[in-house]
């Protein structure tokens, strides 16, 4: 089941996005609706709110006085945090129950205003952020919801900033235009990314780039680091409970600013013992995060030439997201392959002349090879010399992996 978190600042239009996704076939759980359910009369959560914020937060008929509660918590950060501590666990439990009702091969959408603030985005395969500028949102809240302007601005200020949301957004939907434009964008997202992603997950099929070097190797992209940071955070969250992972790191060419590369995010997962990667719980954690083990790719090329291939063993996984191609290399901590992945990245980051030389070699080989597989194989002789120069740099500078 593909998990998609939909969020956005109050007045951004995220509910419109979620409604359209439901019309297209997604199973939608609305956090606001669940939040209303858990504070209905008779719910223990309502009693805890009464005890913390006073009798004035409950009407004579026993229902929550939302306006009175909002007047207390939105201007006061500590009060808002206290309310979240009361309602959060109850909402989370009910949301989990509802999401388990979604079909295993479907798309589960979590419409959640505080997806960023609570760090819940790391448990979603994709985070969709609906955006609109502050003044547009204030106008909508005043005109469509009847809020006072000061109240609207207090509520906006109490939430995550636009920059914080953009940092976790796998998809950013701009809702500054017309409703029809937003619906068109949601439809395109559904057909081009969400449904294919869900199908890949159901079939345990990783995405693959075409074997055409000219189409795959691209100039440096500004979004590589942000994409990698989200992958790293999600894998760390998914694998944490297994207690076998030592670190998750962005490696490979996309981790070196200014270097052309295949538009693929390479991530290294360090484990205490390589055999740990074969445990059922570890494999299940990778699968739940959207990564598929691949057979036939269990070793890196040993360096220097003649080194024992057994020391360069690894496990390899590919991601299922058609909108973000990811390769995951699982290596034993302190093994030669694990160390070289980190050394190669740091060496190229700190020695621009070597980065540029590698870029020139890539361009030369791209002119000689039409397929990605041929291009990758042709780089190996260069890597042998690079390993020696990188090792010398590490010795000279006192570099050690962190």
Residue ranges of the annotated binding site for ATP are 11-16
> Two tokens at 315?
């496990």
Which of helix, strand or coil describes residue 76? Answer: coil
Biggest alpha carbon–alpha carbon distance for the chain: 82
Q: Are the C-beta atoms of 265 and 328 separated by less than 8 Å? A: no
d(CA 196, CA 238) in angstroms, rounded, equals 22
Contact at 8 Å (CB) between 152 and 135?
Answer: no
Tokens of 79: 């009060």
**Cβ(361)–Cβ(382) below 8 Å:** yes
CA within 13 Å, CB half, 174: 4
Backbone angles phi, psi at 319, to 5 degrees: -80, 160
Residue 42 and residue 165 in contact, taking contact as beta carbons nearer than 8 Å: no
Is 251:330 a contact under the CB 8 Å cutoff?
no
CB 38 within 8 A of CB 31: no
Task: Give the phi and the psi of residue 61 in degrees, each rounded to 5.
Answer: -85, 5
Annotated binding site: 11-16
Q: What are phi and psi of 301, to 5 degrees?
A: -70, 125
- For residue 262, what are the β-bridge partners? 217
Is residue 287 within 8 Å of residue 204, measured between CB atoms?
yes
């Amino acid at each position: 089941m593909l998990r998609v978190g939909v969020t956005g600042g109050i007045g951004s239009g995220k509910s419109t996005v979620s409604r359209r996704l439901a019309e297209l076939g997604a199973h939608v759980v609305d956090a606001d609706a669940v939040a209303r359910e858990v504070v209905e009369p008779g719910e223990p959560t309502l009693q805890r709110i009464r005890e913390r914020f006073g009798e004035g937060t409950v009407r004579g008929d026993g229902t929550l006085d939302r306006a009175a509660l909002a007047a207390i918590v939105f201007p006061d950060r500590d009060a808002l945090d206290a309310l979240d501590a009361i309602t959060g666990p109850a909402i989370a439990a009910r949301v989990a129950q509802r999401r388990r009702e979604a079909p295993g091969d479907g798309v589960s959408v979590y419409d959640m205003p505080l997806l960023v603030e609570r760090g819940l985005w790391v448990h979603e395969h994709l985070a969709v952020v609906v955006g609109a500028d502050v003044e547009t949102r204030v106008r909508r809240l005043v005109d469509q919801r009847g809020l006072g302007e000061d109240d609207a601005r207090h509520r906006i200020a109490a939430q995550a900033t636009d920059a914080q949301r953009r940092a976790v957004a796998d998809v950013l939907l701009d809702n500054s235009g017309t409703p029809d434009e937003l619906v068109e964008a949601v439809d395109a997202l559904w057909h081009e990314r969400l449904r294919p992603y869900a199908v890949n997950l159901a079939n345990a099929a990783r995405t693959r780039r075409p074997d055409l070097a000219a189409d795959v190797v691209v100039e440096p992209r500004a979004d590589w680091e942000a994409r990698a940071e989200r992958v790293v955070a999600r894998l760390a969250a998914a694998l944490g409970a297994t207690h076998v992972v030592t670190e998750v790191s962005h490696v490979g060419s996309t981790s070196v600013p200014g270097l052309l590369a295949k538009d693929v995010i390479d991530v290294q997962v360090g484990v205490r013992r390589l055999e740990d990667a074969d445990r059922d719980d570890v494999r299940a954690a990778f699968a739940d995060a959207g990564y598929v083990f691949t057979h036939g790719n269990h070793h890196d090329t040993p360096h220097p030439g003649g080194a024992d291939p057994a020391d360069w063993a690894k496990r390899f996984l590919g991601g299922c997201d058609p909108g973000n191609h990811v390769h995951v290399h699982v290596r034993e901590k302190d093994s030669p392959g694990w160390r070289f992945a980190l050394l190669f990245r740091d060496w190229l980051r700190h020695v621009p002349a070597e980065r540029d030389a590698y870029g020139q070699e890539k361009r030369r080989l791209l002119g000689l090879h039409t397929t990605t597989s041929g291009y990758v194989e042709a780089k190996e002789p260069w890597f042998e010399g690079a390993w020696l120069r990188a090792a010398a740099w590490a010795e000279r500078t006192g570099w050690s992996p962190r």
